[in-house]
Structure 1
Amino acid sequence: MSNILQNEDKLGAVLVQVQDDLRQLKASLEKVSADERGKPLDIQALDNAICRTESSIRKHAEDYLTSVNQQQLVLPCIEDLQKKTVQIPKWKPSLERIPDVHPQREELPGASPRGKAKHGRIITGSVARLQTIESKGRRMPGMPEEDKHRGSKWHKELKWETKPESTSVTADRECAPLWSTKTPPPSTTSKSTDQRDQRDNLISGSLQNLPVPASVNITKYPFTIIKGQIDQTATDFWHFKQSFSLCWTGVVNALGALEKLLRDFAVPLAKVSGERLVEFSHGWDNGWRKASLESGLLFVLENWEEVLGVVIRPGQRYKGEGGMEAAAIRIQSCWRRYSARTAYLCHCRRKWAAGTIAISWLMHTQMRRVRKALQARRLSQLENNRSRAQHLAANWKHIQSSKRTIIHIPSLGYSQSQRLHLGEFDVLQNIQISRVCDIRDENVEVIYVCPQHLGDNILDYYTSFLKCDGATDGAGTRTTRASSCRRRFIILTPEAVDCFPTHNMCLSTLLKYSPRTLKRIRYLIQGKQAYIVGGVAHVDDLAVADELGVPILGPEPAIAQLYSTKSGGKKIFAGAEVDVPPGQGDIYSLNQLHETLAELMTQNIDVQRWIFKIDSEHGGRGTAYCDVCHLSCFNWALQEYHRYGPELWNSEWIQESVLLRYLDEIPEWLAHYAQPAKTSCYPNWACFLKTFLRQGGVVEAYPPSDSITCLTVDLLLEPAGEVTMLSCGDQLHGSCHLEAVGSTVPQTSVHPETLHSICTRVGQACLQRFIVGYVSVDLATFLDRNTMEQKVWAVDLDITYSDQLAMTQMLLMVTGGTLNCHTGCLEVPMPVTEKGCEHQIAAKPPVGSRYAVIGSHLFHTNLSMLYHHVFFQMCKIQGIRFHMKKKQGTVFALYDNSNRSIGMITVSEDLQGALVTFARNLSVIHQEISSSKMQGETNFKELISDMEDVLHMTVQNKKQIEKKPAA
């Protein structure tokens, strides 16, 4: 700053000289009248250029002088310092450590009328965000939280220290204006350059955030502003103006802004602190103009709290100068913002709606296009299947007598909801792995599609099992057939099994998405007669058949799904004119259920239990029952029946009172006493009833007898129109008495001719409805209490290849026998003794009869702890094996690698021996793999209990037969 003051006069002289030179140039140019060509010179343009240059220089000169003159020079008053005694203030900043302090200026001659004065400096700080600390220790309001933290940090870094000074210094500080301090000692003058750099950096970086500590609460230059106007003639304002005349240019700008602010907010009275205003104007000129005026201008007032209260009052801005215009602008801006926002939101909603509609329409059209394509493709597959089925029907006898390839796909094409609720679905589909035993016919080759990857031990087991053909009687012949059997079957697993491990897809769907397996099958059946034998029909069966170009030995999926339900089966039985239990199908509402049940119970007063079956369920899953003995009015209804007698009871007017009484009590009776047969599927009647009404169902009577036998008959409905009985057996039940887990083959409950007649009529009724392939019929037989005659009811129809038939194929494979359902006998060839070797060529080998017990659903969790070879070794030690020469013993069927579920067949000379062997095997296996602390989950015990009842009944029947000839 001292250099600037020293060169100030030189710079002014230079500027004055430049102006004189320009005027002389202008005067000399006016004398020139024309240029070299004689044209007049444009004096006006040249004059304008010179004037602009002169104005520019004058402006820059004034700006320079203004910036120089705005440097504050506060001259201390000269007093008798020796007589002046004051105390050193408690707070005194160390000027060397304050980077904001302006460098000292040289004393200007004539600057002070009071004579020689000492140089003074003024501390400048952040006036835009002035945070004055009053004597009470209270901060000014309006400081942001961030500035408070920075201010506290600034105070900590300063650490003001008090240094002893001379009395003259104390007197000078006492006489100096407020907010000013003395110039540092001459030793610090050499550091003015560094201090200037530090000051510039702080001003440019964080002047707005540095608080100004204030320890003085009394101002020497106060003046008032009334209603936003300054009284220029007031003594206090004139005294303030005279005291700060050197920096008045910057003060005028800040003062004008303060007046405008007070007029805008209609502040009646404002008391201005002159020193604070000067400090604020100095900081404002150095870069604080960008800051908000309201945040700093108010703090130059002594009554800033009162003024701030007026300023922040709602609506105060609209009471001051230009308030109506400001209010109008504010209202218009709010309204325009609201209108624009509303229009924008409306536009966004319409745009979103348009996008959603467009996407929905595109998805709809795409889905419709895909749906049409799928429908066309499935229609094409159906037409192709019908044409291939006609060819199969026309050439069936030729195909059966020639070499052929059977593609076994044991698919369970249930609905998706049913498949997802079935545990270990792949194991359930692989229970019919015994289909590979069809190779016992020398003209048959089998391609078995397996729903899971089988281990080498299972594959080796079936390979060795199929090599042992019991139908042969010579060693050489057995070897020849063993080698041929190995070449006539193959087990394939679709690659899609690994892609969909948890989706519970049916096997046909997995094969549909397995192109490599399909290609392999096409290669294996190339140039051969082949057809598919599926399981539960599914629409993907047609896709697989169309891909392979082979027919399906079975009905169309739509027909199969229609008649495989419980209600559909009753329609077929009604068409076949066979005896069925009293009941009604196609029930879909609760009122219909109650009315139908009341009517059936009234007409069949002797029925003790009623069965409820869900249409789409299989086995005992969708079955519930309720006993009539729990009905409170049953005894009264029974008395009414005996009073009128069986002949008059069929009259409607007699049954009306009982019917109405049943209708009143049936809802509560069902809610309390009806229970599902398998609680693992449906835990209570409410859950069962919900599914029953949603999918439809059947209500029918349970046979009114204590001794009931259920049997299953497997039929082959040939495409040529013939009905063939393939297997028949009496059912064995486990924990659920309405679900079969095994059977005894052949059946012994119904006379073979009666059974053949019933099955033939059912088969013909199925053929009339275009149902071909494998069909399973469930029958129930019992003795009528009134007539003591045997009755046979047809209770269920399954249009699929049954588990019993698959296990029967394994039985016939291991024994080499045939099952004659017309005579009800299992005939097996017996080995030729040495005495009869001479007559071997002339006579046929002797034939013996056998009985077998089949268990297709044997389950024990502890079986998973044993390897297969360990399990077979254990069975061998316990004598559980099959004797090829005697054609009796035990054979196992393996389904999965975990070995939890197995199948078992026991063969003996009589039914009693087969039952005893089967029960003994279950007991031994359970004892070997279980302990007292780890029994495991199994159905062995319930099956053994049911077999004991059958065995007891068999013994009684045998005794009765033995007594009749004696009589």
Structure 2
Amino acid sequence: MALSFAELQAQLRQGWGGHWGDHGDRADAQFDQLVVPSLTMEEHQIQLVTGVHHYEERQLFNLIRLRHPGVRVVYVTSTLLPDLVVDAVLELLPGMPASHARRRLHLFDTNDASPRPLTAKLLERPALLARIREQLRPGRSFLSCYTVTDLERTLSERLQVPLLGCDPALARWGTKAGSRELFARCAVPHPPGSAVMFTLEDLAAAAVDLWDHNPGLQRLVVKLNEGFSGEGNARLDLEPLDLPGRSSGERLVVMRQALERLPMPSQHWQELLARQGALVEAWLEGGEQQSSPSVQGMIHPDGFVEVLSTHEQRLGGSSGQTFEGCSFPAHAAYRLPLMEMGQRIGEALAAEGALERYAVDVVARRFSDRWDLQAIEVNLRQGGTTHPFMALRHTTSGRLDPATGAFLSPSGQALYYEATDNLCDPRLRGLLPEDLIDLVAEAGLHFDPAHLRGSLFHLLGCLSQYGKLGMTCIGRSAEEAAAVYQGTQEALLRGAERLQG
């Protein structure tokens, strides 16, 4: 008889899927990992991501787990992965011949490049699912995904393989409203804001009420309840509305008019408002300095909560809130309070039954010698900071020092990095992955484990068509990591001009 999703998750073992310390980085590891890196989201969200199905390559750093001879990995993508893209990761394996690891790696693809979730494509192909299942050892296998929705839940039940991820029944804790509820429960500081509204009229009333209670407020942000990566957020300037000089009725009218003109990245956001709701929140301002750090954690199958990393996020886009890259670790002045915040929120999520990755986005503001941290939202999935830290962890065999939040190599050397998914330049278009590898080798840019510096690359599939590339640039200081990033970018563009010219 087929097991339910919950019954399957009860089979998860401690150490499966872990990368950190005593929770999974063991030489005697014996398991099979099925990686389905599907960006499972609504069609309008998928269309916002350039080269979306190539983002399935970001989880390839999972292959470094093959350094343990008892581990096997089954990796599924929409389209066939070029050998060079796979080999570029396998060659990073410390202390393991790439050929030995390659024998324990099984690649499958759906031969379908349409802009739909990979998981949906898999569920449409029962014969392919049967071939995948044949590669998985019963009782020793688990499924990992970028995010977990009802589709991934169905895939787990169809394959009868436990999924290491948060049950989609708990997805509300990763929404904007659920995040605010968690922050209040954990006594974590967060900006003033409203409940979720489902019409423009109610949203306008909530915005006016927020201003009434915070009359010095100059801006607010409108957030779709289920938006991702800042693409469901839009800032609204209040000064042009002249709210102090208007009656309460007039304030409602001008606020609604302003919302109708709101430059939300999603063109159909008002339809999404009716379906998922939205809220308004104070836009945090002030301070001599402001940054956008985040903290990442892991909830293990036994409920143990582990803070994994902290980052400074680089944000851009039309709203100024779209993730474009990051640096590791977060600023030393507030790194430990940030980790403590992540621990408290992780424990609250664990109490609700959540599993695997979570992250908390924060706004940090400096007032004289004091930093103020305000939590913005929770993400119950892997994200843009997941794969760079995975690359650092596996390629160096280092660890995070919980006392300082620094990452230390086995020799005790602190390591840093700058990373991006969005190195975009038209000069890169037309370059094939092998061209990039040639440029990297020629310039001596690739990560050197002997000197603990250099660059690791991902999203190679986006390169030729979109002129887009991802990279993680590692150094022994923040300054060195920044210099590696800048030098790598400049060398790649110079080399691309030469090859294309």
**TM-score category of the 2 structures, normalised to the smaller one:** 0.7 to 0.9
Secondary structure of the residue that 2:409 maps to in structure 1? strand
Distance 1:524 1:671 in 2: 53
1:812 equivalent to 2:377? Answer: no
1:740 equivalent to 2:329? Answer: no
Percent sequence identity over aligned pairs:
21
Cα shift readout 1:818-845 (whole Å, capped 9, x = no counterpart): 233541212113xxxxxxxxxxxxxxxx
Cα shift readout 1:628-651 (whole Å, capped 9, x = no counterpart): 3323245x6xxxxxxxxxxxxxxx
Relative distance call for 1:883 and 1:449 in structure 2 (3 A) is same
1:760 equivalent to 2:349? Answer: no
Conserved? CA contact 1:536–1:799, under 8 Å? yes
- Tell me how far 1:449 sits from its aligned partner: 1.6
Determine the structure 1 residue equivalent to 2:310.
728
Relative distance call for 1:780 and 1:489 in structure 2 (3 A) is farther
Spell out the pairing of 1:659-698 with structure 2 (5 A cutoff).
662-663=251-252, 665-670=254-259, 674-676=262-264, 678=265, 681-682=266-267, 688-698=269-279
Spell out the pairing of 1:208-219 with structure 2 (5 A cutoff).
none
Secondary structure of the residue that 1:587 maps to in structure 2? coil
What amino acid does structure 2 have at the position aligned with 1:806?
H
Distance 1:441 1:734 in 2: 39
Distance 1:394 1:729 in 2: 27
Distance 2:253 2:433 in 1: 59
Cα shift readout 1:22-67 (whole Å, capped 9, x = no counterpart): xxxxxxxxxxxxxxxxxxxxxxxxxxxxxxxxxxxxxxxxxxxxxx
- Tell me how far 1:812 sits from its aligned partner: 2.1
Determine the structure 1 residue equivalent to 2:119.
508
Distance 1:767 1:896 in 2: 36
Aligned counterpart in structure 2 of residue 465 of structure 1, from 84, 92, 97: 92
Determine the structure 2 residue equivalent to 1:190.
none
Compare the two structures and name the one with the higher strand fraction.
Answer: 2
Cα RMSD for the two superposed structures: 3.1
Determine the structure 2 residue equivalent to 1:912.
479
Distance 1:665 1:516 in 2: 57
Determine the structure 2 residue equivalent to 1:390.
10
Aligned counterpart in structure 2 of residue 857 of structure 1, from 418, 422, 432: 422
Determine the structure 1 residue equivalent to 2:488.
921
Spell out the pairing of 1:307-706 with structure 2 (5 A cutoff).
384-392=4-12, 400=24, 402-419=29-46, 423-440=50-67, 444-466=71-93, 469=94, 478=95, 480=96, 482=98, 484-493=100-109, 497-498=110-111, 500-502=112-114, 504-527=115-138, 529-560=140-171, 562-634=172-244, 662-663=251-252, 665-670=254-259, 674-676=262-264, 678=265, 681-682=266-267, 688-705=269-286
The aligned length equals 489
Distance 2:409 2:77 in 1: 30
- Tell me how far 1:852 sits from its aligned partner: 0.8
Conserved? CA contact 2:193–2:281, under 8 Å? yes
TM-score (ref. length: structure 1):
0.47
Distance 1:661 1:410 in 2: 49
Spell out the pairing of 1:788-803 with structure 2 (5 A cutoff).
789-803=370-384
- Tell me how far 1:885 sits from its aligned partner: 1.3
- Tell me how far 1:734 sits from its aligned partner: 4.0
Distance 1:890 1:558 in 2: 39
Cα shift readout 1:694-718 (whole Å, capped 9, x = no counterpart): 4311211121126321122221111
Relative distance call for 1:535 and 1:852 in structure 2 (3 A) is same
- Tell me how far 1:602 sits from its aligned partner: 2.2
- Tell me how far 1:592 sits from its aligned partner: 1.4
Distance 2:322 2:236 in 1: 17
Secondary structure of the residue that 1:540 maps to in structure 2? helix
| Structure 2 portions without partners, runs of 5+ | none
Determine the structure 2 residue equivalent to 1:866.
431
Conserved? CA contact 1:804–1:856, under 8 Å? no
Determine the structure 2 residue equivalent to 1:276.
none
Secondary structure of the residue that 1:724 maps to in structure 2? strand
Aligned counterpart in structure 1 of residue 359 of structure 2, from 766, 776, 779: 776
TM-score (ref. length: structure 2):
0.87
Distance 2:213 2:104 in 1: 58
Distance 2:452 2:263 in 1: 44
Secondary structure of the residue that 1:883 maps to in structure 2? coil
Distance 1:415 1:565 in 2: 15
Spell out the pairing of 1:76-225 with structure 2 (5 A cutoff).
none
Runs in 1 of length 4+ with deviation above 6 angstroms?
A: 393-399
Distance 2:412 2:477 in 1: 15
Conserved? CA contact 2:63–2:90, under 8 Å? no
Distance 1:514 1:591 in 2: 45
What amino acid does structure 1 have at the position aligned with 2:263?
Q
Distance 1:574 1:631 in 2: 31
Relative distance call for 1:455 and 1:664 in structure 2 (3 A) is closer
Distance 1:628 1:540 in 2: 41
What amino acid does structure 2 have at the position aligned with 1:775?
Y
- Tell me how far 1:722 sits from its aligned partner: 1.2
Distance 1:763 1:897 in 2: 34
Spell out the pairing of 1:875-954 with structure 2 (5 A cutoff).
875-896=440-461, 898-899=463-464, 900-930=467-497
Cα shift readout 1:730-786 (whole Å, capped 9, x = no counterpart): 10234442011211111116534312221122112212322212112211111358x
Conserved? CA contact 2:194–2:206, under 8 Å? yes
Relative distance call for 1:859 and 1:407 in structure 2 (3 A) is same
1:719 equivalent to 2:318? Answer: no
Relative distance call for 1:790 and 1:661 in structure 2 (3 A) is farther
Determine the structure 2 residue equivalent to 1:960.
none
What amino acid does structure 2 have at the position aligned with 1:901?
K
Relative distance call for 1:871 and 1:481 in structure 2 (3 A) is closer
Aligned counterpart in structure 1 of residue 291 of structure 2, from 698, 709, 726: 709
- Tell me how far 1:524 sits from its aligned partner: 2.5
Relative distance call for 1:421 and 1:744 in structure 2 (3 A) is closer
Relative distance call for 1:826 and 1:589 in structure 2 (3 A) is same
Conserved? CA contact 1:780–1:792, under 8 Å? yes
Secondary structure of the residue that 1:406 maps to in structure 2? strand
Question: Highest CA radius of gyration, 1 or 2?
Answer: 1
Distance 1:703 1:675 in 2: 19
Distance 2:193 2:62 in 1: 36
| Structure 1 portions without partners, runs of 5+ | 1-379, 470-477, 637-656, 830-845, 936-967
Relative distance call for 1:512 and 1:443 in structure 2 (3 A) is same
Relative distance call for 1:415 and 1:750 in structure 2 (3 A) is farther
